[in-house]
Structure 1
């Protein structure tokens, strides 16, 4: 019997000693971490107006925008940059050990957020720093969750287990929206307090119930050079992208976005150069953190490429849908601006339901038939949904949007669970941590880049069309136009489209702030009927949609193209490939579908056996 067979038998014995229910205990704890993470993300999204009010920071002030953007994007930026390193460390020192540490760090971050002592800009900076601490804890759990599930569940049940975990991810988003909408009405600090019981429970359970049963990679030296190139490159790129979304003032001119800012150009350029150099560095160091040889595995390569492309299509577009609801559709249908964040979450519920329904089902089906065609069909459905979204008018009936986003949830559920299972099944057991880190890094980076791509498209579109829409709306008022009204129209036309969108996103009618900034003396010269018209729920959303909708449709079309590319990449992965170390070479690579004999040749099994012995 081979050495690898003895190692496998030992690991199987260790799992059996934990009892038949241990795998479900592990799944419960990992699902709890997923639920906690997504609740934390969406509860912040929905509670930002209350949080900004609580720390006494006016979101319409120019300097407030950078705090807003870092509060939204800082968490994802930090997790994206450190996931890969954590995955490699977990393979060497134990996935459960680092998973436990993640729960503990997240708990500390949540407590600090609840206790945020200061207000104003200082308070906002403290919130960002404490969110970064949370992000470090979240990265420890995120990098190891899928790997631990793959460790404790047999190949025939991994899709189902990962599907259950995916349901927690989507459910947490909806639960966070509800909790945020309710808790923020009482006290903004409760938004962070609600995380603490989840985090404490997860910390206690992970230390008391979870045991280390994973294959360990040999303990080697840390790839310091690779870490510097990767973390430095990705951080520089994502920081540049973040500041590229902010207004840029130069020579008395304010650009709506910062892409012409020399700092943005420099950081993005440095980031791209470092990331281009990273694979060459990794191919030469002794113990690389990024396992380039995994890309020789067809299932791993195409599943990750499909996931990356799908994340670019999905990440920013979801934000654009929320802007459509909060900034245009909900106010036009009688909802107060301050209520729109909560109701936007409610109206996005069909997407969550679709995912919850299909996530576990697709996982079970992929265990039985393989992930290839289930995942491909899912992304094909998402492609068609994007086309449907591009055809929607701004004053659509809700049932039209509800059906489309429900189908998008179905398609995403069909894709996510089988695709994750495909990636985790394709790598050697002792390298599942770094594989999970690579997968999560690609997804998080794609989501952040997606925000930049689609937000830029929309802002550029609005910047060109918004002034004309403003003057057209004022002209429709006819004989009531006065010199003061013309001055107001010019001021509105020069308003930053970024501020216009984010005011709607935060539940503010920007017309109230603009009229207040003009002073009561000027406002009193405007007929009261006009003031009432300008500040009601209808005038600004009706005007904004003229500039917003064409750009949004372009975004949807790009989303459809990217989703179609993801579907093609998904189909190219081949049939199910499971990398397992067994005493018999015939068990190393298996295809659960009925046509195994035509898809896996003896030569490929021999190559898999060779890899297993390395």
Structure 2
């Protein structure tokens, strides 16, 4: 008979495979989705942001709540519910009935439904694995779970590229059979190994304060990326400032309330465990460094490198995913190896070295020209994947090992919340840096290029286009110049000679114009991310000796025998 631990690993791996696959399918298929519902990229990037960010924002808000509730009512039950809700969300996305703005809003809402299901899966998968595997095998299990997620990411790139070229709705339908299988299988096979503590109460004030504070903070950050009035970003928008400040105030109130209630949703006492707190702080810093990196690399490939190498804008989303596979390969190769090594040698050295490699890789990225040699680029991003894989599995195992069994649902939820929150903040930081630098440099650059091309009459129009719109147009597979020309008054468009239009709408014209400014912005972002990675490495090194909680607390390091505390 198959040992239960392998049943738990296979089932949770199916959930993480589906989650990673879905994320990359949506990322690759966005151009086909937006064309399918008839959305113009120049006045719709708020929908793009919400389709991209909405999932992670909702997950960040819910995972701690769900983890805490799972400790009370049962992790397996909540995990099963997650599969079912995620599947329902996928069906709703496939059936999206509207067009234009209405359809875009429906997609955002249905992605929220998916995110609710995803938060139930994320909050409980690490806890279920930690219960099923003994401490000496936990790193391997968590690492292998992450590697299977990477396979899901690769599958998402390929499947998304194929299905998007057939019919945009099919990109959502592919999740449904996996979701149905996962729901049935989890109900039939997963067992609740630890007895839920029904004596605890649901922390209603804490849940409400935490949810509201994160909503205000993350929504404020999201709208901070969007233009406001004559400003290229919205950080001076009173609503953005008020939202973030109010969210921070409520978050402070939340921590005060949690220190007073008997059964808090956010187990602050976990942070008194040094191994847990240092692992948590390392997660947030690492996510700030790495969370927005993949999206920035996608933009670099789609807006600059691929068009310069003969790829049409329509196919750049798919090929950007293909050319980023070394990043996923590095993580996939190292994830399970690092997890196995952490079971034997502990997490501190492995996770710290991984973060240092990540920081060094980001420094290497700053040396690349915009028309780089792909082999050099692939080597660097492969190294980044190795560093991330070397960090994630041991760090997750360290965090879960340091958590008392009765609080592992809460611990898993905190880990997932830190991951999603850090990723969303990272994207906001990266986008802000890139957009602000482009705003300063791009108008004069475009003016000179248009004058040289004989299209000086376009200067008043093209220099007023927000960098956000131009970047998102390229991200959605549109030639930004063609999209801009389509917005011009007919008398202006007709005054431009056909030869000039042919020149400025060529695949290589716009990338060559914006590339120097874009790379300058990316280098600033990469340097910032590198600093955060090295800071995370310092935090990781301070985690101290390994702490393993089973029936009793056991403190170990490589020089000590295991002794009960």
**Same fold at TM > 0.5:** yes
Q: Which of the residues 508, 512, 517 maps onto 2:487? A: 517
**2:554 corresponding residue in structure 1:** 589
Whether 1:505 and 2:469 are equivalent positions in the alignment is: no
Q: Which of the residues 366, 371, 378 maps onto 1:390? A: 366
Deviation at 1:353, TM superposition (A): 0.8
Question: Do the aligned partners of 1:240 and 1:265 also contact (CA within 8 Å) in 2?
Answer: yes
**1:53 corresponding residue in structure 2:** 35
Deviation at 1:324, TM superposition (A): 0.5
**1:143 corresponding residue in structure 2:** 123
Runs of 4+ in 1 over 4 A off after TM superposition: none
Alignment RMSD, CA only?
A: 1.4
Deviation at 1:20, TM superposition (A): 4.7
**2:498 corresponding residue in structure 1:** 528
Question: Do the aligned partners of 2:142 and 2:396 also contact (CA within 8 Å) in 1?
Answer: yes
Deviation at 1:527, TM superposition (A): 2.6
Question: Do the aligned partners of 1:215 and 1:429 also contact (CA within 8 Å) in 2?
Answer: no
- Separation of aligned partners in 2, 1:20 and 1:92: 29
- Separation of aligned partners in 2, 1:528 and 1:115: 42
Question: Do the aligned partners of 2:450 and 2:458 also contact (CA within 8 Å) in 1?
Answer: no
- Separation of aligned partners in 1, 2:558 and 2:46: 55
What does 1:279-358 align with in structure 2 at a 5 Å threshold? 279-358=255-334
**1:12 corresponding residue in structure 2:** none
**1:21 corresponding residue in structure 2:** 3
Deviation at 1:594, TM superposition (A): 3.2
Deviation at 1:519, TM superposition (A): 4.4
Deviation at 1:546, TM superposition (A): 2.3
Q: Which of the residues 505, 526, 534 maps onto 1:564? A: 534
Question: Do the aligned partners of 1:466 and 1:546 also contact (CA within 8 Å) in 2?
Answer: no
**2:437 corresponding residue in structure 1:** 461
- Separation of aligned partners in 2, 1:541 and 1:431: 51
**2:244 corresponding residue in structure 1:** 268
- Separation of aligned partners in 2, 1:211 and 1:146: 14
Question: Do the aligned partners of 1:371 and 1:575 also contact (CA within 8 Å) in 2?
Answer: no
**1:244 corresponding residue in structure 2:** 224
**1:8 corresponding residue in structure 2:** none
Local SS of the residue matching 1:260 = coil
Deviation at 1:574, TM superposition (A): 1.4
Whether 1:162 and 2:162 are equivalent positions in the alignment is: no
Deviation at 1:487, TM superposition (A): 2.3
Deviation at 1:263, TM superposition (A): 1.4
Q: Which of the residues 514, 525, 533 maps onto 1:544? A: 514
Give the greater-gyration-radius structure (CA). 1
**2:524 corresponding residue in structure 1:** 554
**1:404 corresponding residue in structure 2:** 380
Q: Which of the residues 539, 544, 551 maps onto 1:574? A: 544
Whether 1:231 and 2:211 are equivalent positions in the alignment is: yes
Distance 1:414 1:215, change over 3 A: farther
- Residue ranges of structure 2 left out of the alignment (5+ in a row): none
TM-score by length of 2: 0.98
**1:109 corresponding residue in structure 2:** 89
Q: Which of the residues 336, 343, 346 maps onto 1:367? A: 343
Aligned length in residues: 565
**2:112 corresponding residue in structure 1:** 132
Deviation at 1:275, TM superposition (A): 1.1
Answer with 274-283 or 535-544: which moved more: 274-283
Deviation at 1:520, TM superposition (A): 4.8
- Separation of aligned partners in 2, 1:558 and 1:148: 36
- Separation of aligned partners in 2, 1:76 and 1:283: 27
- Separation of aligned partners in 2, 1:134 and 1:108: 8
1:38-68 superposed Cα distances (whole Å, 9 cap, x missing partner): 11111111111111111122222x2x12111
Local SS of the residue matching 2:39 = coil
Question: Do the aligned partners of 1:93 and 1:219 also contact (CA within 8 Å) in 2?
Answer: no
**1:258 corresponding residue in structure 2:** 234
Question: Do the aligned partners of 2:545 and 2:555 also contact (CA within 8 Å) in 1?
Answer: no
- Separation of aligned partners in 2, 1:443 and 1:215: 27
- Separation of aligned partners in 1, 2:416 and 2:77: 19
- Residue ranges of structure 1 left out of the alignment (5+ in a row): 1-18, 583-587, 607-614
- Separation of aligned partners in 2, 1:219 and 1:189: 45
Question: Do the aligned partners of 2:73 and 2:198 also contact (CA within 8 Å) in 1?
Answer: no
**1:611 corresponding residue in structure 2:** none
- Separation of aligned partners in 2, 1:240 and 1:219: 37
TM-score by length of 1: 0.90
Answer with 170-179 or 536-545: which moved more: 170-179
- Separation of aligned partners in 1, 2:271 and 2:189: 35
- Separation of aligned partners in 1, 2:525 and 2:60: 24
- Separation of aligned partners in 1, 2:435 and 2:141: 41
Local SS of the residue matching 1:589 = strand
Deviation at 1:525, TM superposition (A): 2.8
